[in-house]
């Protein structure tokens, strides 16, 4: 017996079983009702999930001002203040302005690095 004989035997068995299995008269209405119920449940679940997501989004938006966020000063304002302090030091100490600018730049970069490190 080869593979084709076994397939033909299987098909014959299925055909014979077709005479024994008869669908009931209410099979189609039951199937349609089950499909409608499943679709309705899916829609309800989707709407509930959307509602929960919307409520969560609104809650986070309302609570966001209360989160502890640093109040960063603009870097440009910090740089201007630093340059003013540099000029004051140059006048007070009598240091060359080029060298004082280099030191001020290094100090500014160090402060920015600390601010960035603290914000993370």
List helix spans (H) across the chain.
3-20, 27-63, 75-93, 97-119
Residues 72-113: tens digit of each pLDDT: 555 556 666 767 776 776 667 776 666 777 777 788 888 888
Element (H, E) at 2: none
Q: Which residue has the higher pLDDT, 29 or 14?
A: 29
Distance CA 98, CA 87 (A): 11
Flag whether pLDDT at 44 surpasses 90. Answer: yes
Flag whether pLDDT at 46 surpasses 90. Answer: yes
């Amino acid at each position: 017996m080869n593979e084709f004989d076994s397939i033909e035997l299987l098909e014959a068995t299925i055909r014979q079983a077709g005479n024994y299995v008869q669908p009931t008269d209410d099979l189609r209405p039951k199937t349609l009702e089950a499909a409608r119920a499943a679709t309705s449940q899916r829609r309800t679940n989707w709407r509930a999930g959307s509602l929960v997501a919307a409520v969560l989004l609104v809650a986070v938006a309302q609570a966001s001002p209360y989160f502890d966020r640093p109040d960063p000063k603009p870097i440009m304002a910090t740089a201007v203040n630093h340059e003013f302090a540099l000029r004051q030091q140059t006048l007070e100490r009598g240091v060359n302005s080029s060298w004082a600018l280099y030191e001020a730049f290094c100090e500014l970069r160090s402060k920015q690095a600390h601010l960035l490190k603290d914000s993370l």
